[in-house]
Structure 1
Amino acid sequence: MYDAVDDPYTYENSTVLVNKLDLRDQGQLDDFEAEITSARSTEPLPEGALDFAHYCAVHHHLFQDVYEWAGTPRTVRISKQGSPFCFPEHIGAQATKLFEELKSNRFFEGLPVTEFAAKGAHFLSELNVIHAFREGNGRSQLSFFAMLAEHAGHPLDLERLNPDAMLNAMIASFDGDETDLAQIIADLVTA
């Protein structure tokens, strides 16, 4: 659950996000969101230039059935457990900087697995700090990163992913320790 003040994304006097099915119960929304994004994740993801616009297109693809704002960067400040994410007025500039860095690193192509994992962990960590969307950042990050890994020649076996370990690694990376995240990525690489 995110902390947000004066949140235009939620129903009045509620923490439930406004959604296309008008579900007002958080459990029902969570169930619908999980089911539909899981189904959408089995479809081909949008093609693109592995840039911020492409990342936004991936979010839109996954969440288009749930939220009107799918694929659109958030306009409200949010935090999780007291840790603030990038202020919305800086999302565009920070995302541009991160994706330009990715491009200048040739999208991590041709790197040995350990170097790919380390650079990938840093990229994912920074993308998480930006937290471009009001909801659905983790799923979009993972889907986009899997595409990036495939492009870089290091496809991932996401069936081996331990969600709890990944969450803990992402939290540690938010605090500056990317070691566990790099190890998880290295362990998921199949080739």
Structure 2
Amino acid sequence: MLKNKLGLRYQGQLSAFEALSVAVRAEEPLPHGRFSAAHYCAVHRHLFQDVYGWAGRYRTVRMTKDRSPFCFPENIAGEMRALFARLRDADLLREREAKAFAEEAAAFLAYLNAIHPFREGNGRTQLTFTALLAAQAGHPLDLSRLEPASFLQAMIASFFGDEAPLRRHLWTLVGD
């Protein structure tokens, strides 16, 4: 059980509180920024501020999912700087056709997921930030088309090097 602001001790209660809190915060204006690692952390902090005291701060513990390790905590800051420097060098994916945007956004998202900088809330922060990135690049995502279960499977496939399903999902959400 993750340490949380309410001191909840049962996973079901924490999950329900987290879902409600994040949904409310997601409806508020999101933090503005320069699409940097600091901006990414600000988005996480905004979404999870009511739940976790550590919201917006990189994790300090090693994590795995289904025996697959995410980036070690001692490497997170450097990997995040490098990833967001590449995004900046790519002009935040601006001036691309929709399909090219989806391809490059999928690569960004796959790498970001492999870093997994936070203890909890990575997927929701990734999707929220990608929607912000897409909107500023002129390709707003239509999240009403999102199929959560298949999107999760595409994210898992991208973790193992197959970004094609994730590209297809993003292409569907861009829908130009």
Q: TM-score normalised by the shorter chain: which range applies?
A: over 0.9
> How high is the TM-score relative to the length of structure 2?
0.99
Question: Could you tell me which residue of structure 1 aligns to residue 149 of structure 2?
Answer: 164
Equivalent residue number for residue 90 of structure 1: 75
2:22 is matched with which residue: 10, 30, 37?
A: 37
Residue 76, structure 1, aligned to residue 61, structure 2: yes
Whichever residue aligns with residue 45 of structure 1, its letter is: L
- Segments of 4+ moved more than 6 angstroms: none
Identity over aligned residues, as a percent? 55
In the TM superposition, what is the alpha-carbon distance from 1:189 to its structure 2 partner? 1.0
Alignment counterpart, residue 133 of structure 1, candidates 113, 118, 122: 118
Supply the distance in 2 between the matched residues of 1:51 and 1:171 (Cα, whole angstroms): 24
2:160 equivalent to 1:189: no
Q: Deviations for 1:10-51, whole angstroms, at most 9, x for unmatched residues?
A: xxxxxx101011100000000100011011101110000000
- Aligned residue in 1 for 2:98: 113
Give the partner amino acid of 1:56: C
Q: 1:100 and 2:85 equivalent? A: yes
For residue 83 of structure 1, report the CA deviation from its aligned partner: 0.5
Letter matched to residue 132 of structure 1: P
Q: What is the alpha-carbon distance in structure 2 between the residues aligned to residue 189 and residue 116 of structure 1? A: 9
Q: Show the counterpart of 1:175.
A: 160
Q: Which has the higher helix share?
A: 2
TM-score (norm 1): 0.91
1 CA distance for matches of 2:20 and 2:148? 17
User: Structure 2 regions of 5+ residues with no counterpart?
Assistant: none
1:20 and 2:5 correspond: yes
Aligned residues: CA RMSD = 0.7
1:50-107: CA deviations, max 9, x gaps? 0000000000000000000000000000000100000000001000000000000001
CA distance, structure 2, for counterparts of residue 139 and residue 41 of structure 1: 10
